[in-house]
Structure formats: structure tokens, C-alpha cells
Structure 1
Amino acid sequence: MTMVSSGGSASVETRQYDVAIVGGGIIGLSTAMQLLERSPDLSVAVIEKEEQLAQHQTGHNSGVIHSGIYYRPGSWKSRFCVGGKDRLIAFCDENEIDYDPCGKVIVASHESELGRLDDLYDRGVANGVPDLEVVGPERLKEIEPHTFGIKALWAPHTGIVDYVRVANAYAGKFQSAGGDIFTGAAVIRSRQTGVGTALETERGAVQARHVINCGGLYADKLARMMGEETDVRIIPFRGEYYKLTASSEGLVKGLIYPVPDPRFPFLGVHYTRNIHGYVEAGPNAVLAWAREGYRKSNISLGETAGALTYPGFWKMTARHWKTGMREMHRSYSKSVFVNDLKKLIPEIRPEHLEPGGSGVRAQAVSSSGAILDDFHILRGQRALHVLNAPSPGATSSLAIGEYLTDMAVEDFRLVVR
């Protein structure tokens, strides 16, 4: 049996891989690349269910290079993001990948938000984010002339990039170092063998001594498939965007965000100038009725039943139902969406917006109903499972990949040189 990879073909019938990485998104590819950098003699394979790499969370990412403001000091998010951002920019420079350090303002439009804005400044400083500045209305108008606010936090080193291009650059380096990438190969079963794990895919079986699960929206299912016990379940949330019409794109120079609600892990509707030139407005955050539910019409009865029968879902809903109802209302009402956007740019009108894209966030929820806000990695039998890799996962991809490589070297007792 032969699997066609994204860069050629390779037979897996007669070869035992040292490590198989499930998931061809930006974190899986970063880890694969760094494993071979650390230990060139390893045999490593990446298994991706889609025909192309980086098709889900990476491919639906807004492209923001986060600077590390939001995250609790000492958390994995803060540690991965600040260092990961610098490494990402250096990687882009070395590989001629365009990015734009356009800067970002987090805007307080009401006095009730000023305390939270000050807290964000303190967090950013504690995390080592450089050149943060609290600005008043006049300076805000210089940065973003069409934005209203009584105070704002200016982060001049926040930027934008094409993360699909970054992920494919990781893949190219991985393959150049001798790694194999198998696409169109969804894992459907897993079984333990005397020497490792057999991952049965839609295109044949891959044998591996060890596995790193970077399965994103299906990471929890893959973990359970491999015999791991975890009380974490992925609940998919769809983020829906509008795009500013070409004639109104001049209303936004860089990135414009509201002060987020600390009770919820989403940042609120905002404006994002994309590396390809257009401006996105959004997203909201609504429950998706399928793990890959990028449209309202995408419904999986089995996956919906899996969410609705999970006790943690109902405990989460009991805590956040008011916010959830507001998000659903905004999803079906353009006027509500516009009113929320007006808080940042009062000039915005419905005719300035046209339908945009969407993404699905793989949000991990515990059986207690807690929304996991930080990275969560399970050390299993012969395997590592990345069960939660929220934003700033793409910004942090090199830092996370290095951390997973460290864990793999230790847990799998890999030989490095």
C-alpha cells in the first residue's frame, strides 16, 4: 500500500516509524520539523486527513501575530506567545514570508472598562511585551483615526501573517530533512502492537513506536481511540466574520479590539486587517453543530449528540447561557452585529459589510463545565496528546513545537545529537 504525500510518495508497508504525528496543522508541522532538526536519524511521519495541509484551524485563522497581552503571567499561553512571536518573525525573515507589524489597539469605550484595560497593561508588562502604551483619545485618533475610545492600549509590535504559508514552510523543511507527509489519510482506528501503535487510516495502516496527537478538532476523540482516559471534550465554536467593502477598508489601519470580558475566552468582535489586504470584522462565537461546522447548515447529528450528552457541556451552558444567547442573536441579526462594531468605529453602517469567512475553534471543556483557557497536553502511553491549543497557538507554534519535542525526547527516550 502506498500513500501519496504532499511532496511525493512513500511506502509504509515495510517501514516502522519512530514517531507518527497525527494532524497536519501548524503545530503538528512545527513539531515534526523540530523533531528532525533535533534528531535527524529519526523516522517521522505526519498523517493528515485532508488532501491539503493546514485546512482547518490554521487555514481559517485571522492571521494575527499576537504579542502576549491577554494571558495570565506564568501561564503556558504567556510563556509560549512572547518567545514564540519573536521566533516566528525570525522564521519569516529567514524564509521570505511576508508579514506586517501593523500594531493593535485595545479600546475602552466606556468607563466601566478602564479597570480591565489597566489589568491588561499590567499583564502585558509582566509578560515582557515591549513598548506597550496606554493612550488617550487624541493619540488613539492618530493611530486609528476612525476609532472612538476614552482610553486604549497600544501594542505596536502586534502583526499579521499568512499562517498557511508558514505551515507549508514548516512542512517543506520537514520533508527536506527526510520526513514523510501522508494526506487524505484520516485515522479511523488505533491498536496497540508489541512495538508501538498501528494507526489505521482510510488509505492504509501506519506503524509507529510513538504518536504525537495534534488532531485539533478531533484531538479528544483520537486520544480516546488510543485508549487514553480524559475528562476533556472538544466543543466546537464557530466564529463568523463580515468583510469590509473595498470602499470602506480605509476605516481601519491595523487591528482594533475591544476590552475583552475576562469571564469568557473569546475577545469580542473586532477589526482585523488581513495580510492579503482586506479587513475582517468579527467574529462572534456560537456553538457549531459539527466539529467542522463552518456554516450554519453544517450539521452532524452524531457530533451534536456527543456534545449534548456530555455533562460538561450543560454545566458550561449553565454558567454562560446569557453570553451564548447574545452570541446567537448576533449571529442571526446583522443589525446587532453592526451595533457592536459601532462601539469601536461609529461610522460603520450595514452597507459597509459583506459576508466573510468563518472558523471553528476547538474549545476544550472539562467534565466540570470549565472552559480550558490554557494549553493542555496529556502524556499518555507511548503518546502525547495536545488536547487544547487555543489562540495564540499559531503565533506560538515554534515554541509549542519545541516544547513537544522536549517532551517527546524525554518520554519516548529518543536519541538526539
Structure 2
Amino acid sequence: MTQEEILEVDILICGAGVVGLAIAMTLAKKYSVAVIEQHSGPARETSSHNSGVIHAGIYYETGSLKHRLCQEGNSRMYEWCDSHSVDAIQSGKLIVAFDDSELDQLQEVYQQGIKNTVRDFEQITIQQIHDLEPELNVVGALWSPWTGVVDAYNLAKSYERAALEANAFIAYQHKLTNVDKLGSQFVSTLIDTNQQISTVKSDVLVNCGGLMADKIANIVGYDLSGDEKKGLPVLQQSINRGRYYDIIDPDICRLISRPIYPLPDHQAGGLGVHLTTDTNGGLHLGPSMEWMNDDESPNYLNELDEFWLAAFLDAGARFLPQLKKEHLAPGQVGYRPKIQKEGEGLTDFLIWEDEGYVHLGGIESPGLTASLPIADQVMSLIS
């Protein structure tokens, strides 16, 4: 965009991650849509720095957005990937108990999955566990056959193509710096990497900023601490870092065929360090669960660190006792936007509309799986 240009559209979307692009391609069928993204391409943050798992909706509070949108998104994700040549594997997933002390919590997870009507979810026998994963030595497991893995980056690219085909306009390397509300219109000021300033006028502003969603809300003028009397939710987010270590020995990689999860630790911020396969046959351990300080910025470099190497070796050896240090190397690092604070339990997605402003906060896992239904949810809010 040029300094002199004023672009007028029905809807401006901030953020070209998986969710932002899913919303763009959905809304562009009916409205004129522009997308702005500070990075040089799509899905450069949370969307592509994760386990790439297609979730089935097991853990979440029954009836919550995470539960409902994840379950709907599960089947739609496989259908989309099949029809748009995106690699996805319906591998199934095991949730395991390593010793008898974990069996009660395993039963709690099972009951939540049953309450959530997770498709074909079941407790399986030791023999069934060994049939699925002969190298796994556990005392109990739950089987979720509709869980799988997807190539998250190419999923985002497929959404980007669909958005462009629907005539959405996408401006990369443009950062939002200011928003004014003039009547019913949002007047958004952008700056690009050449320090050129441009303007977008829109009737609707959709905030899919991911890690930056609360910062964008602040630019729009909202109090991030919320105001219950005024119906304003808390918009402040915390960030939880998740680093991964890759298993680099091909013989070890061939021992595991699907994601294997320990019991979740929701208060720590995630589902625990798990073994995850990918669509290329790789095997990964992660993510860690590290609450960041407010003054920290995301750093996507994961350099070799003896402390974390030892921690991941300990976590990995629970799944594969033959694992050694030389089998591991630093992998990716991801960051999760969280509405919950450290020590709190699971919180839901925040999808909220106020006079043309649509806020998507805390869009962490299972946001990837739920991306298509989230887009429909936004469509219904603005229609």
C-alpha cells in the first residue's frame, strides 16, 4: 500500500495466522475484506509453531467454545485437507498413564471425553495398547481415533489461496499503529517496513492478532482489565512459551506411529510434554510450559541448553526408555496467547463483538482444529 492510498473495505482483519485467514476466506464470499499482517508471510507465529495436532475435543469444558468448535472443526479439517491437497493423517492418539498413581486422573480424562461425546473415544486394554504401539510401556491408555496431525503451514497457505480467490486483499509487512472511530467507521493507520504510512477505512475491525490481540485492543481504545458492569470482558493476555526437542535418530522415530500424550497439567498451561509425529514421519517432544514475564518478547531460536536437554530426555524416557541425549536436538519454539493466568485452570476462547469490533482472544490450542468453525462464528456475529 502507498502513503497516499486510502483503502475502503467492509471488513479489516488484523492478523494472517490460520484463524485470521480462515475468517478472511469465509467473509470474503459476502463482503469486501482486507487483511493486514506485520510479518512477511502467513502463519509466522502461533499458527505454525505448535504440534500440528488435529484435536478431537476431549479436555474442554462441555459446551464451551473450545469443545463445540473443536469437535465441529475435527471432521471439517480432514475434509478441507483432502479437497485442498494439504497433508493430514488421521493417526489417532493415545493418552497414557505411566503408573498406577495416574489411573484415577486417566479415568477423569475419560469421563470428560465421554461427557463431550468425543467420537469413538474409548479405554483400551494393555494388549490393544501394545498392538498400536509395541514399544510403549504404560499401565493404561485412552484411544482417540479421530485425532491426527496436519501440515499447519500449508493449511494456512491453502486458506490464503482461498481468501485471495474470493478477492480478499492481503497486505504483509504492515503494522497497525492507530485506530480512530469516526461515526460507524474504523480508520486504521498502518506503517510498512519502509516507514510508509497508509490508511484503511472499514465498517468492521476483526482482531485476530494472536499474541498481539490485547495490544491491538488497547490501540482500538479498550481497557484490557475489563469492566463487568459495562459488559467488557478481560482482554489482557499472558504468553506461555513452548519449546520442543526433535528426535533425530531415524530408528527411534520409526518406533512410534502416532501422538502419545501424558495426563494434562492445565494449571501449568498445557497438555504436558508429549510425543508427536508429523506428516513427514518426524518425531518430536514438547511443548514445555513456561510462563513469560510481561517484559519478555518471543524468541523463536531454540539453542542447545543442558538444562532443557536433560528435562526433555527425562520426559521422553517415560515414553521410550531407550532414548539417549544423542537422540535429541533443539526443535521449534512456539508461544501460546493465554487468557488464563499462571496457576489457573483451563479458560475458553474469547470471541466478542462490540459495535463492529470483533475480538478473538486466547486463541491457542485447539484454535488450529477449530479455525473453520471460528470463522463461521465471526460471520454470525457481524451478520
TM-score computed with the length of structure 1 as normaliser = 0.83
Q: Is the 8 A contact 1:77 1:375 kept in 2?
A: yes
Could you say which residue in structure 2 is the equivalent of 1:414?
Answer: none
Q: 1:27 aligns with which of 13, 19, 27?
A: 19
**1:293 counterpart residue number:** 299
- 1:405 corresponds in structure 2 to 379
Q: Whole-Å Cα distance in 1 between the matches of residues 223 and 330 of structure 2?
A: 41
The CA deviation at 1:14 is 4.5
Q: 1:76 is matched with which residue? A: 65
In the alignment, what sits opposite 1:314? none
- In 1: Cα distance, 2:376 partner to 2:292 partner: 32
Distance 1:134 1:296 in 2: 36
For residue 396 of structure 1, what is the aligned residue in structure 2? 370
Q: In 2, distance between residues paired with 1:68 and 1:50?
A: 31
In terms of mean alpha carbon deviation, does 262-271 or 386-395 score higher?
262-271
- Do the aligned residues in 2 keep the contact of 1:293 with 1:360 (CA within 8 Å)? no
What's the counterpart of residue 219 of structure 2? 225
Give the distance between the partners of 1:175 and 1:402, measured in 2 at CA.
Answer: 18
| Structure 2 unmatched ranges of 5 or more | 193-197, 226-234
For residues 124-150 of structure 1, give each alpha carbon's deviation from its aligned partner in whole angstroms, at most 9, with x where no partner exists.
Answer: 222222222212322211111111210
Residue 378 of structure 2 aligns to which amino acid in structure 1?
L
* Counterparts of 1:191 and 1:279, CA distance in 2: 47
**Residue 181 of structure 1: aligned partner:** 170
SS in structure 2 opposite 1:58?
Answer: helix
Is the 1:136–1:150 Cα contact (8 Å) retained in structure 2? no
The answer (yes or no) to whether the contact 1:24–1:46 under 8 Å persists in 2 is: yes
Offset from partner CA, 1:91-121 (integer Å, 9 cap, x none): 1121122211111110101222212211222
Matched, 1:242 2:216: no
* Alpha-carbon contact 1:291-1:360 (below 8 Å) kept: no
Partner of 1:154: 143
Which of the residues 238, 241, 263 maps onto 1:259? 263
Q: Give SS of 2:21's match.
A: helix
Per-residue deviation, 1:331: 8.1
Quote the Cα distance in structure 2 between the aligned partners of 1:201 and 1:371.
37
Distance 2:339 2:259 in 1: 27
**For 1:212, which of 198, 206, 210 is the aligned residue?**
206
Superposed displacement of residue 291, structure 1: 3.9
Q: Is the 1:372–1:388 Cα contact (8 Å) retained in structure 2? A: no
SS in 2 for 1:209: strand
Question: Which of 140, 144, 165 lines up with 2:129 in the alignment?
Answer: 140
Q: Which amino acid aligns with 1:220?
A: D
CA contact (8 A) 1:265 1:373 kept: no
Q: Does 1:377 align with 2:351?
A: yes
Once residues 329 and 152 of structure 2 are traced to their aligned partners in structure 1, the CA distance between those partners, rounded to angstroms, is 24
SS at match of 1:2: coil
Shift of 1:76: 1.1
Contact 1:241–1:356 at 8 Å: present in 2 too?
yes
CA distance in 1, matches of 2:287, 2:306: 9
**Contact 1:236–1:360 at 8 Å: present in 2 too?**
yes
Counterpart-to-counterpart distance in 2, 1:221 and 1:372? 22
Which whole-Å CA distance do the structure 2 matches of 1:296 and 1:280 have between them?
Answer: 14
- State the 4+ residue runs in structure 1 displaced beyond 6 angstroms: none
Alignment partner, residue 335 of structure 1: 310
Instruction: Tell me the C-alpha RMSD between the 2 structures.
Output: 2.1
**Distance (whole Å) between structure 2 residues aligned to residue 294 and residue 331 of structure 1:** 18
**Aligned pair 1:125/2:114, yes or no?**
yes
Native 8 Å contact 1:73 1:126 kept in 2: yes
Task: Quote the residue 2:330 is aligned against.
Answer: 355
Following superposition, the deviation at residue 370 of structure 1 comes to: 4.7
Q: Distance in 2 between matches of 1:331 and 1:91?
A: 41
Gaps of 5+ in 1: 4-11, 298-329, 410-417
Q: Per the alignment, do residues 262 and 238 of structure 1 end up closer, same or farther by CA in structure 2, a change over 3 Å counting?
A: closer
CA distance in 1 between partners of 2:340 and 2:110 (Å): 28
Q: Distance in 1 between matches of 2:345 and 2:262?
A: 21
> Which residue number in structure 2 is paired with residue 302 of structure 1?
none
Question: 1:262, CA displacement in angstroms?
Answer: 4.3
Q: 1:369 Cα deviation (Å)? A: 7.7
CA contact (8 A) 1:30 1:401 kept: yes
Partner of 2:103: 114
Equivalent position amino acid for 2:20 in 1? G
Displacement after TM superposition at 1:216 (Å): 0.3
What is the rounded CA distance, in whole Å, between the counterparts of 1:92 and 1:13 in structure 2?
37
Structure 2 SS opposite 1:236: strand
| 1:386 matched residue in structure 2 | 360
Distance 1:14 1:287, change over 3 A: closer
Q: Is the 8 A contact 1:92 1:98 kept in 2?
A: yes
SS in 1 for 2:270: coil
Shift of 1:296: 6.8
2:277 maps to 273
How far 1:288 moved relative to its partner? 3.8
2:47 is paired with a residue whose SS is coil
Q: 2:288 maps to which residue?
A: 284
